[in-house]
Amino acid sequence: MPTGVALRDAREQLFDAAERVLLREGPSALTSRAVTTEAGCAKGVLHRHFADFDAFLADLVRDRIARLDDQAAALRDSAGTVADNLTDVLTALFGSVAVAIVGLVTSRDELRARLRRTTPTGIPLLTEAAAVIASYLTAERERGRVAADADVDTLAPMLIGAVHMLFADRKGTPPESGAVRKVVDAVIAGIGR
């Protein structure tokens, strides 16, 4: 491995490298050596920025959770139907690294323990995504496009869980938008105005 080569934004480069390894090979292949090899840097770079590998992984998950904030703002401001917007955001969420992160979190006890400090219940990333969807549905309820009595706090995790099942086979072909839309329509049936 090269040494003495300066990395611009080393944390982000390491996170992106970890994401590529996760997507390509899955959680079991994610090691500090795999990440630094993918990033093209010495293993010491990772340990210079993080206390240990589990600290790195926890920060990776937190970084991907933080990215939901931008998606939440875009979702609340989006045009189109409620079903179209939910289909788009759920397809983008699960078409990303989310499915691999769920596998990573469930397979590493120390990582789960660290993440419990910020996400005490549920599965990190999916719990926050459900909150984004609940917030969006609340905004749509306030606009009058969702029924006033719609239980958005129940609908949001139902949408996350149902669509996650469509994407859960990490090696298979991802579902088409029509399959996601069918699930969205079924879950939100009866809440529209």
**List of domains in the chain:** 1-49 (1.10.10.60), 64-188 (1.10.357)
* Residue range 9-25, pLDDT digits in tens: 899 999 999 999 998 99
Give yes or no for residue 114 having a pLDDT over 80.
yes
Length of the chain: 193
Residue 165 contacts residue 136 (beta carbons within 8 Å): no
For 167-177, the pLDDT digits (tens) are 987 677 889 99
Question: What's the CA gap between 192 and 83, in Å, rounded?
Answer: 9
pLDDT at 73 (0 to 100): 81
